[in-house]
Each structure stands twice: as C-alpha cells, then as structure tokens.
C-alpha cells in the first residue's frame, strides 16, 4: 500500500492526469489519421474513376483498342491498389437480379448499389466486407455514359490489408510516442514533486527536532517561492521560541535567586533569634530587615501573579473620567519620586483640565512602572521629563530620560515577558523582567499602544497613547 504523503499525492495525481491526457490525444490522433487515410483512399479512387470514364469514352469512340483499355485500367488499378470493373447496365437488366450479378465476380449486396448508380448517384463505403475478395475493401461505384444517358457503372474495390498494416504502423508510432511522453513526464513530475516536497520534509524534520527540545540551525531553503517564505517563517518562529526559552530560563534562574536571597536572610535572622545569638534589644532592627525582605518577596510574587491575571483576562478595567494632571501629581507625591536619592530632576508638562477615560488605578500602575524604570537607569543629577499632549481624541504621554539608554539589540525585546536588557544590574537591583511586559498589556487592554526609542549612552523615550 502506497504511503499517503504529499510527494505520492503530487506524483500519482499528475502522472494519472498525464496518462489520461496522452491517452485521449493518442486516441484522437489515431481516429483522425484513420479518417484521413480512408478519406485519401476515397479521393484517390474518385480521381481514378474520372480517368476510367475518360478511357471508356475513348474506347467507345474507337480512339483506343480494347487491349489498350484493359492495359490502362490495369495500370490505374495498380496505382490505386484497386480492382476496377466496368459494367454496362440498363433498367431491364436490373429487373432480374440473377441476370445482373455473376456471384463469382461480384457480391450480392451490390444489387441495390447498382440501382442507385443507374439513377446517377455515387455510392461509396470506407469499409465493406467482400465475399469475392474474402477481406475488407474500400468500395466506390460511379455511373458512366454519354450526355444524360447512363449506360453502366464503374466499380472500384480496394482491399484494405495494406491500409490496415499502414494504419497499424502509424498507430504504433503514435502510442509509442505517447508512452515515451508519459515516461518523460513521469520523470519530470517525480523531480518536480521531489523539489516541492524536499523543503517540506526539511521543515518536518526540523519541527520534530524542535519539539524534542533539540537545538537546530536555520533551515536552508532557497526555492524562491512560497516554500522559501515558509522556511523563513519557520526559522523566525524557531528563533522566537529559542529567545522565549532563554528568557524563561533566565527568569527562572533570576526568580530563584531573588526568592532564595530574602528567604536565606529571613531564615538566618529567625534562626539567630531562636538560638539566642541575637540580643533581645536588637530584635526590632532585625525584624525590620525581615519585614523588608518579606515585602520584597511579596513584590516579586505579586508581579508574577499580576502578569498571569492580565494574560488570562481575569482583570476587568474600572474605567471613569479623571484629570490626568492631578493623577500624575498624586503619583509623584505618593511615591516620593521627586525626592529621589540620585538627585534626578523630574519635570512634568501637562495641560490643565485634560481628562482621560481609563482605569485610574491601572493608569497609575503604568506610569509608576515607566517612571520607576527611568529613575533606575538614569544616573545621578540626571533629568526625566514627563510630557502629556492631546492627540487623535486621546492623550499621548512621553517619558524621556538622559540615562544610559538601551542597546540596539535589546530595544526590540524590552516589552517581552522575562526579558532583561542589563542582567548584571538586575542581579543587583532585583526584579522579574515582567514590569514593562505588564505595562504593555495594561496599555493594550485600554486599547492604546506603547513604543520605545533609545540612543545608547544618551537616553530613552517611552511613548504611550491612550484613546479618548
């Protein structure tokens, strides 16, 4: 049983189609050639019949002898491959069938034909079995006479043995040519199907290896068509999967480290208290450290849970109208960002009375994430500018800093889950790599969009658009 593959489907479908087409063409050619050969035979006998009528006229006018007439008819018969009979007829003779026909010379079916010929009609058959010749013959009967007086019939009998042999030879050539064409087409179809399916086979093997967790190189497909585009899409998908997997591993390692560090500190201080290594008067100091580490753990787990909730669609936005400028002032005052330890100048430019229809709590969360990131990566005595402008019925917020900037190779991925551009700094400052991803999802939940531009070493600008 043939295995159902794209290769076998392509190969056998087109092969069957080619066989069917070539068979139809061969049948039509054979049929057309048969008709042509028999038609040419009829035309040849008609031309010979016209010549015979002229010879009989010359004979009756005594221009040629009976012997010369027979010699000329023998030559015509030899040239056309026919037996020629000239019969003198009249209505009285045709009234008695037995008198007309010599059964050793003529076939019985000719009686009705002779009647038609005596009426001035031509009678022809491409194929007729003759008892006289014991073979199939091509038959032609034409009248002859002087003026309008029909005196007899000229009969041509051409045995078809040679024609059959000739037609059989040509049909053999036609069918052999069709067979050769089918074989050559089969080879071409095989090579074409192989060329089409080879990239698919490569992609199938690559997908199996990828699913098994193996590292594979980019697929090399250079067909210049949709298959090459598909291979490029596969390579892109594979690279994205690898990037996501690397980010997931980095995330797991980072979170494990971030969770283990505070847990180790908490466990050490608690154990010291239980063992009496920490004096009672020092309890408040170490309890504050334990609280700080606990809050840090809660923040880490909170970000992870927040990302999962947003992605699963469990968060519902509580939209309402509120003043953007007042909300931004609340953020700066409540977080104490203006009085930051690096003495970073934080400037805000927002028109008075500008309103937005959004979830105020989530709006604050978005801005806190962006501003916190800007503060984190801006050096001492740096500047951060927050600008709000109305645009397209909504508002555009721009947070621009003059910090260290983002490397070009990292910029396209900063909103991806678990991505961390500066891993060495993250190890010091902590974090899950989920902050900007959460921000992006919250912005998109509002129907907005977020983008980033940066010049490495000069600063970064985050632009957010909220619809009205």
> In the predicted model, what is the mean pLDDT of residues 107-130?
82
User: Would you say residue 172 has pLDDT above 80?
Assistant: yes
Alpha carbon separation from 328 to 94, 100, 214, 325, 381 (Å, rounded): 125, 127, 49, 5, 22
User: Would you say residue 261 has pLDDT above 80?
Assistant: no
User: Would you say residue 424 has pLDDT above 50?
Assistant: no
Say what the pLDDT of residue 230 is: 81
Which residue has 């930051």 as its token pair?
Answer: 340
> In the predicted model, what is the mean pLDDT of residues 310-321?
81
Question: What domains, with CATH codes, occur in the chain?
Answer: 6-166 (3.30.450), 226-309 (1.10.287.130), 316-466 (3.30.565.10)
User: Would you say residue 350 has pLDDT above 80?
Assistant: yes
Say what the pLDDT of residue 95 is: 59
The string of pLDDT tens digits covering residues 391-418 is: 988 999 999 999 889 998 888 888 877 6
Say what the pLDDT of residue 463 is: 96
- Token output for 70: 């027979």
- 124 forms beta bridges with 140
- If one counts every other C-beta atom within 10 angstroms of the C-beta of residue 120, the result is 11
Higher pLDDT, 95 or 83: 83
The string of pLDDT tens digits covering residues 370-383 is: 998 898 888 899 99
- If one counts every other C-beta atom within 10 angstroms of the C-beta of residue 67, the result is 8
The string of pLDDT tens digits covering residues 179-206 is: 999 999 989 988 888 888 887 787 778 8
Higher pLDDT, 92 or 26: 26
Say what the pLDDT of residue 425 is: 46
Sign of CA dihedral 122, 127, 132, 133: positive
Say what the pLDDT of residue 258 is: 64
How far apart (Å, rounded) are the C-alpha atoms in residues 140 and 47? 11
- Token output for 252: 């797991």
pTM above 0.85, yes or no: no
User: Would you say residue 104 has pLDDT above 50?
Assistant: no
Say what the pLDDT of residue 255 is: 66
Say what the pLDDT of residue 287 is: 86
Say what the pLDDT of residue 333 is: 84
Kindly indicate the confidence band of residue 421, based on its pLDDT and cuts at 50, 70 and 90.
low
Kindly indicate the confidence band of residue 163, based on its pLDDT and cuts at 50, 70 and 90.
confident
> In the predicted model, what is the mean pLDDT of residues 161-167?
87
Say what the pLDDT of residue 91 is: 64
- Token output for 207: 């997908």
Say what the pLDDT of residue 314 is: 73
> In the predicted model, what is the mean pLDDT of residues 23-48?
90
Of 59-63, 338-342, 389-393, the range with the highest mean pLDDT is: 389-393
How far apart (Å, rounded) are the C-alpha atoms in residues 397 and 443? 12
Per the CB < 8 A criterion, the answer to whether 265 and 289 are in contact is yes
> In the predicted model, what is the mean pLDDT of residues 384-388?
94
Say what the pLDDT of residue 389 is: 94
User: Would you say residue 177 has pLDDT above 60?
Assistant: yes
The string of pLDDT tens digits covering residues 446-464 is: 999 999 999 998 999 999 9
> In the predicted model, what is the mean pLDDT of residues 229-257?
75
> In the predicted model, what is the mean pLDDT of residues 251-279?
76
Please give the mean pLDDT across all residues of the chain: 83
Kindly indicate the confidence band of residue 273, based on its pLDDT and cuts at 50, 70 and 90.
confident
């Amino acid at each position: 049983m043939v295995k159902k593959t794209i290769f076998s489907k392509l190969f056998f479908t087109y092969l069957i189609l080619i066989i069917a087409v070539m068979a139809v063409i061969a049948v039509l050619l054979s049929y057309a050639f048969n008709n042509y050969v028999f038609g040419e035979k009829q035309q040849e006998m008609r031309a010979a019949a016209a010549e015979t009528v002229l010879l009989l006229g010359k004979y009756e006018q005594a221009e040629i002898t009976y012997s010369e007439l027979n010699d000329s008819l023998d030559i015509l018969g030899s040239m056309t491959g026919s037996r020629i009979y000239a019969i003198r007829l009249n209505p009285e003779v045709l009234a008695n069938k037995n008198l007309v026909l010599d059964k050793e010379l003529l076939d019985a079916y000719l009686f009705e034909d002779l009647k038609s010929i005596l009426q001035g009609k031509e009678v022809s058959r491409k194929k007729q079995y003759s008892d006289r010749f014991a073979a199939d013959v091509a038959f032609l009967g034409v009248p002859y006479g002087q003026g309008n007086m029909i005196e007899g019939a000229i009969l041509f009998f051409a045995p078809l043995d040679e024609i059959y042999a000739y037609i059989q030879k040509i049909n053999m050539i036609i069918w052999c040519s069709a067979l050769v064409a089918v074989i050559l087409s089969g080879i071409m179809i095989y090579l074409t199907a192989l060329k089409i399916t080879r990239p698919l086979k490569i992609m199938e093997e690559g997908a199996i290896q990828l699913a098994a967790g193996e590292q594979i190189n980019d697929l090399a497909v250079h067909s210049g068509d949709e298959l090459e585009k598909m291979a490029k899409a596969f390579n892109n998908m594979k690279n994205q999967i690898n990037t996501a997997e690397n980010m997931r591993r980095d995330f797991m390692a980072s979170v494990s480290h971030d969770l283990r560090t505070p847990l180790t500190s908490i466990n050490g201080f608690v154990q010291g208290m239980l063992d009496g290594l920490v004096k009672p008067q020092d309890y408040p100091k170490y309890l504050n450290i334990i609280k700080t580490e606990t809050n840090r753990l809660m923040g880490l787990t909170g970000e992870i849970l927040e990302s999962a909730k947003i992605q699963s669609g469990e968060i519902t936005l509580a939209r309402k109208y509120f003043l953007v400028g007042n909300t931004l002032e609340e953020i700066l005052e409540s977080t104490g960002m203006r009085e930051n330890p690096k003495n970073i100048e934080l400037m805000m430019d927002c028109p008075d009375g500008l309103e937005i229809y959004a979830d105020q709590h989530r709006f604050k969360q978005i801005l806190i994430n962006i501003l916190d990131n800007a503060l984190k990566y801006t050096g001492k005595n740096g500047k951060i500018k927050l600008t709000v402008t109305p645009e397209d019925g909504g508002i555009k917020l721009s947070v621009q800093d003059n910090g260290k900037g983002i490397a070009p190779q990292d910029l396209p991925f900063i909103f991806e889950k678990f991505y961390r551009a500066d891993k060495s700094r993250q190890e010091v400052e902590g974090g899950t790599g989920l902050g900007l991803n959460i921000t992006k999802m919250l912005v998109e939940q509002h129907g907005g969009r977020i983008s980033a531009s940066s010049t490495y070493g000069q600063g970064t600008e985050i632009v957010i658009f909220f619809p009205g």
